[in-house]
Structure 1
């Protein structure tokens, strides 16, 4: 069974634009009892919330910087107090620095991308995940990854690719740790028509400050990308079915298969040298069994 959101609160971080805005609107369309649209840009979040309310739904805009651990925890507690433990939390907030070769990328840009895309996601999953794990109600945690999560190498976006690849590992571990009534999904969109290309306009001063990226990149994304609405629909279809990995574009399959082929070849080479069993998960489980005895 997948995510159940009808009549339940839904939270979307980075909900002020792009995929986040589309996720918030789709949640309302599918019967969410209340949609909390959280974004560092309160005005943008407000426009999305107003649209939901204008169409008969319940929504509120909330300012949230997911890199602020205490602030994200306060957000989770406030939403739970006002509307109950969410049925779905979309850890969607993410940024991309200006395109540049990795060797030429400023360390402050790498730090910014890692802080938002990884630390911000961890903050969101922890703050809401604890509430869900302690509740008896079914809940679902959905993270917005990327085609980069499954092996797409994107020249000139090294920090972004690394951050999205990390989310696959993060969510894979989390789904093994949570109780059965809390589900985990990783949505893996490809090129999407959104404002991700210009997310540096929200970059904090101590990491380089606000800046506008090349509008040509934005025009390309707007023209060539899948609509955010289609991405959101496919994400919610996958959530309803309870899938862990939810790709929205087909072409990354070729990259994933190449990655799998490279790994199989590497282990085939190793098999000629050593096949000893050092499986940590299995040996650690045996160790715990011995302790229990």
Structure 2
């Protein structure tokens, strides 16, 4: 999808950081933009800024961890514009840095409610309606490079949620009809308010620079949408370690196709 003129774009977590930078870019491409987040004051500020730039922008207060809230966001979007062409599942939280052995079900649950079920709620609330439109559409899930590798200790809940987001995106890509593209975006450190930390607004890649890198990938309909070069090195390291393990302990052998789960899945569904 290379032309976003008059397309309707809904962005969760759209008042600040990556979400706001994406709203700016879609707006600059003459899209109509709806941003959603929990903090109405920040939404008002963001919409005013977008409108001052000539963007047709609206907002809706929404807690993506609540399915009814997310369905209300979808109802609002269709009531305002009669269609949704792009959904950006961007809302997310960092959680509390903590050692795995000292963590709790509650701390994991909060991260999963937003990062995993927030993404799922967006898919559930918008997906079938976007399919039914029958026109080219796009669902972009903003995950994290932490969905590709674990950067360090004390981030178990966040990393687990981002690996889950990647898996959900992979499955969604397999299940969606051709006219609905799916993209998984893997940002590294980007200046934002993630985690509610002022430090996070000062370190990492500027959000506009990040958008400049991922934008051609969005236009080209890429599934894996990447930005931070060092992520490749860590993915390659993990892949090499896994490959070595398979080569050493589970190499191919005659007749091994009967244990190929991907091949078996194809037989079962078709």
Q: Secondary structure in 2 aligned to 1:224?
A: coil
Aligned to 1:72: 70
CA contact (8 A) 1:73 1:127 kept: yes
Aligned to 2:94: 96
Aligned match of 2:189 in 191, 199, 205? 191
Aligned to 2:6: 7
- Quote the Cα distance in structure 1 between the aligned partners of 2:57 and 2:218: 21
Query: What stretches of structure 1 move > 4 A for 4+ residues in a row?
Result: 272-275
> Structure 1 residue 119: deviation in Å?
0.5
Aligned to 2:28: 29
CA contact (8 A) 1:4 1:87 kept: no
> Structure 1 residue 69: deviation in Å?
0.8
1:112-127 matches, within 5 Å, as 112-127=110-125
Instruction: Specify whether residues 137 and 264 from structure 1 end up closer, same or farther in structure 2 by C-alpha distance, changes over 3 A only.
Output: same
1:215-235 Cα deviation digits (max 9, x unpaired)? 5xx32x333310112222323
Instruction: Specify whether residues 3 and 102 from structure 1 end up closer, same or farther in structure 2 by C-alpha distance, changes over 3 A only.
Output: farther
> Structure 1 residue 151: deviation in Å?
1.2
- Quote the Cα distance in structure 2 between the aligned partners of 1:61 and 1:115: 22
- Quote the Cα distance in structure 2 between the aligned partners of 1:165 and 1:3: 29
| Pair 1:242-2:221 in alignment | yes
Q: Secondary structure in 1 aligned to 2:138?
A: strand
Aligned to 1:16: 15
1:254-273 matches, within 5 Å, as 254-272=233-251
Indicate the RMSD between aligned Cα atoms, in angstroms. Answer: 1.8
- Quote the Cα distance in structure 1 between the aligned partners of 2:2 and 2:125: 19
Q: Secondary structure in 2 aligned to 1:251?
A: helix
Aligned to 1:231: 210
> Structure 1 residue 237: deviation in Å?
2.2
Number of equivalences: 268
- Quote the Cα distance in structure 2 between the aligned partners of 1:164 and 1:259: 16
Instruction: Specify whether residues 135 and 266 from structure 1 end up closer, same or farther in structure 2 by C-alpha distance, changes over 3 A only.
Output: same
> Structure 1 residue 236: deviation in Å?
2.4
Instruction: Specify whether residues 144 and 3 from structure 1 end up closer, same or farther in structure 2 by C-alpha distance, changes over 3 A only.
Output: farther
Instruction: Specify whether residues 36 and 99 from structure 1 end up closer, same or farther in structure 2 by C-alpha distance, changes over 3 A only.
Output: same
TM-score, with structure 2 as normaliser: 0.93
Q: Secondary structure in 2 aligned to 1:31?
A: coil
- Quote the Cα distance in structure 2 between the aligned partners of 1:193 and 1:149: 19
> Structure 1 residue 274: deviation in Å?
6.0
108-117 or 127-136: bigger deviation? 127-136
135-144 or 125-134: bigger deviation? 125-134
Q: Secondary structure in 2 aligned to 1:67?
A: coil
280-289 or 14-23: bigger deviation? 280-289
Aligned to 2:230: 251
TM-score, with structure 1 as normaliser: 0.86
* Structure 1: gaps (5+ residues): 199-214
> Structure 1 residue 245: deviation in Å?
0.8
Aligned to 2:153: 155
- Quote the Cα distance in structure 2 between the aligned partners of 1:73 and 1:10: 16
- Quote the Cα distance in structure 2 between the aligned partners of 1:68 and 1:173: 22
